[in-house]
């Protein structure tokens, strides 16, 4: 619930702005009930949002609580000061890059898979995921063919323009 002093301040602003029009809206309603409804409906709004709503009141008629809340919700997001970007230490960056390059020397692209394969051959227990991973990674791979195996596409499955006899196909339809 919005604090009652805030609701009182909002209603005071409405009374000053709209006068008799504001009072006539609630002639037959207990003002404590009206204020309780406003407190409930405006609950959770920030002071900046309420200020925005008060600064953007319609000039010709007093708003309902729903209309006032809608005006409050149109408040722009607060601007936050950006932090400066962290500065990298060039000496440390160079040292880390050198360390990473040294780690890469002599490492096979699928070394992890070969290591797991060897561990399994030696009788070590591997999880099902480890077994499946190394097998999938090494499927169709050998040290000589890291990129996989090549199998030409059968000529009869190629589109006519890609076949060796492409010129004869074109001549048939000419």
Q: What is the pLDDT of residues 126-174, one digit of tens each?
A: 999 999 999 999 887 655 444 555 677 787 787 877 776 644 444 444 4
Q: Which helix (H) or strand (E) is 49 found in, with range?
A: helix 47-55
Determine the pLDDT at residue 111: 85
In a domain, 49, yes or no: yes
Q: What interhelical angle do 47-55 and 4-18 show, nearest 10?
A: 10
Can you give the residue range of the structural domain that contains 65? 4-73
**40 band by pLDDT with thresholds 50, 70 and 90:** very high
d(CA 43, CA 69): 10
Domain count of the chain?
Answer: 2
Of 161 and 94, which is predicted with more confidence?
A: 94
In a domain, 31, yes or no: yes
In a domain, 11, yes or no: yes
Q: Are residues 53 and 112 in the same domain?
A: no
Q: What is the pLDDT of residues 48-68, one digit of tens each?
A: 999 999 999 999 999 999 999
Residue 159 is given by DSSP the state: -
In a domain, 165, yes or no: no
CB 75 within 8 A of CB 48: yes
16: nearest Cα among 50, 56, 52, 62: 62
Boundary of a domain, candidates 52, 73, 94: 73
In a domain, 129, yes or no: yes
Q: Are residues 27 and 69 in the same domain?
A: yes
Q: Are residues 125 and 65 in the same domain?
A: no
Mean per-residue pLDDT of the chain: 85
62: nearest Cα among 75, 53, 49: 53
Judged by average pLDDT, the poorest of 40-49, 102-111, 133-142 is 102-111
């Amino acid at each position: 619930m919005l604090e009652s002093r805030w609701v009182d301040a909002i209603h005071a602003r409405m009374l000053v702005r709209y006068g008799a029009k504001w009072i006539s809206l609630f002639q037959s309603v207990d003002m404590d009930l009206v204020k309780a409804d406003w407190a409930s409906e405006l609950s959770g709004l920030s002071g900046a949002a309420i200020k925005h709503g008060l600064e953007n009141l319609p000039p010709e008629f007093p708003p309902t609580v729903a209309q006032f809340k809608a005006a409050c919700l149109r408040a722009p997001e607060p601007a936050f000061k950006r932090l400066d970007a962290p500065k990298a230490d060039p000496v440390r960056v160079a040292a880390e890059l050198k360390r990473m390059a040294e780690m890469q020397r002599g490492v096979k692209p699928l070394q992890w898979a070969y290591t797991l394969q060897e561990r399994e051959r030696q009788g070590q227990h591997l999880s099902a995921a480890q077994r499946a991973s190394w097998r999938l990674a090494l499927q169709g791979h050998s040290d000589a063919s890291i990129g996989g195996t090549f199998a030409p596409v059968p000529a009869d499955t190629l589109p006519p323009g890609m076949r060796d006899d492409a010129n004869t196909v074109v001549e048939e339809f000419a």
